[in-house]
Amino acid sequence: MSRTAILVGCARLPEGDGDEAGAQLALADVGVGTRWAVWDDPGEDFTDADLVILRATWDYSARRDAFLDWCASVAALRNAADVVRWNTDKAYLLDLAGAGIPIVPTQLLGPGDAPDWPDGDVVVKPSVGAGSRGAARFGTAQRAEATAHLSSLREAGHSVLLQPYQHDVDREGETALVFFGGGYSHAFTKGAMLTGAQYDESGLFVTEKLGLAEPEAAYRALAEDVLDATAARFGIGRSELLYARVDVVRTDGGTPAILELELAEPSLGFRQAGPGSAARFASAVRRELG
Ligand SMILES: Nc1ncnc2c1ncn2[C@@H]1O[C@H](COP(=O)(O)OP(=O)(O)O)[C@@H](O)[C@H]1O
Ligand SMILES: [Mg+2]
């Protein structure tokens, strides 16, 4: 039986950013055909697809409701629509904190909520956003600018996250730990993003500085705990998460904490991690296809 997986991009990146090329080869090796499609292309029909894998739908943040409606209409979507709904609003961080996971200290400011400014540098960012868009860092002498940014995000209809800036991001970067089918695959580092960095030509994400990582045990254990907490929240087995990326930073206190959990459309670092990672992804996809 021939099986096909559809990889999903967006109009400005209809075939992603190139990171999936190795994964497509690895899928072909195990008998899975792939093709790319754009999520909101009216000429596409996803209803009868064997498997539909979100990969580069990075334009959803301005149209999240329409995107989530589309997700709910695709039965074979991975990750599943309810997981994507929860994970595309960074309010999920507070759910993880409630489950005992250490997160970067986070205030979620809805309309009318007053900020309680942390000491030192802060990050102000939209609760729905990706690719570092709308995220900005402000020093203690820039409260007026930070307040103006907060207001402008709210005027655009966003809830806002306020966090203390984690200085280790400037030294060590953040570490992204990648899981396929609930099992650990590999990790990569991402350099600091709020440094006046350049946007990709698509305008959808800030160009990233990536490298392969061998995370220490505390990072590995924390990421495993996040997978368990997520599976428990949805009442599913970890293997039902086709892919997951757990972004860990070292807090100013020295302990690791979660900056993000990415279950919707994370870059998975195939280029950094090499063919072994693509083969593990291909095996997880095969298992989904049954
Ligand atoms: N509290 C923070 N401390 C240090 N850096 C941060 C913090 N929040 C965000 N950043 C930087 O901004 C980038 C984008 O923020 P992030 O929360 O990862 O949102 P997204 O990747 O969804 O746009 C991160 O990769 C990191 O470099
Ligand atoms: Mg991020």
pLDDT digits (tens, 9 = 90+) for 60-82: 998 999 999 999 999 999 999 99
pLDDT (average), residues 217-243: 98
* Architecture per CATH, 107-164: 2-Layer Sandwich (3.30)
One-letter amino acid for residue 149 of the chain: H
Specify the ligand 1 atom closest to the Cα of 259.
17
Which amino acid residue places its CA nearest to atom 1 of ligand 1? 165
Kindly report the CATH number that applies to the domain delimited by 92-102+168-269: 3.30.470.20
Each residue of 171-182: pLDDT tens digit?
999 999 999 999
- The verdict on the CB of residue 129 being under 6 Å from ligand 1 is yes
Ligand 1 in contact with 128 (CB < 6 A)?
no
Q: Is the pLDDT of residue 241 over 60?
A: yes
26-47: average pLDDT? 97
pLDDT at site 210: 83
Rounded (10°) CA dihedral 201, 210, 277, 25: 30
Task: Give 244-274 pLDDT, tens digit per residue.
Answer: 999 999 998 899 999 999 999 999 999 999 8
State if residue 24 touches ligand 1 by the CB under 6 angstroms criterion: no
Which of 242, 232, 248 shows the shortest CA–CA distance to 287?
242
**Phi-psi category of 3—alpha, beta or left, where left has phi over 0 and alpha has psi -120 to 50?**
beta
Q: Of 59-68, 93-102, 202-211, where does mean pLDDT reach its minimum?
A: 202-211
